[in-house]
């Protein structure tokens, strides 16, 4: 017993009547912009984490090499 096409059409008509097509268009645009912004922030966060991890490996490598120079 899932939602059929007829039920979806009834829900769509009710939503259009309540909000209007202009308001729905604005909501859709805002939602699309929010999703795009979220994806961009996630991508930037992953790149920053990768860069931080690379820097930590370099720092550990430098510390190790300094210990070897003292011995």
CA distances to 3, 5, 14, 28, 38 from 18, in Å = 21, 20, 6, 15, 28
pLDDT at 11: 92
Cα separation, 9 vs 54, whole angstroms: 52
Q: What percent of the chain has pLDDT over 70?
A: 76
Summarize pLDDT for 21-71 with one digit per residue, the tens.
888 889 889 999 999 999 999 999 888 888 887 777 666 555 555 445 554
User: To which residue do tokens 């490996």 refer?
Assistant: 57
pLDDT at 70: 52
Instruction: Write down the pTM of the prediction.
Output: 0.50
* Terminal-to-terminal C-alpha distance of the chain: 75
């Amino acid at each position: 017993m899932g939602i059929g096409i007829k039920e979806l059409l009834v829900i769509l008509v009710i939503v259009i009547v309540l909000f209007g097509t202009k308001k729905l268009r604005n909501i859709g645009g805002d939602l699309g912009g929010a999703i795009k912004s979220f994806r961009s922030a996630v991508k930037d966060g992953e790149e920053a984490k990768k860069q931080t991890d690379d820097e930590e490996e370099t720092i550990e490598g430098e510390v190790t090499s300094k210990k070897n120079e003292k011995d």
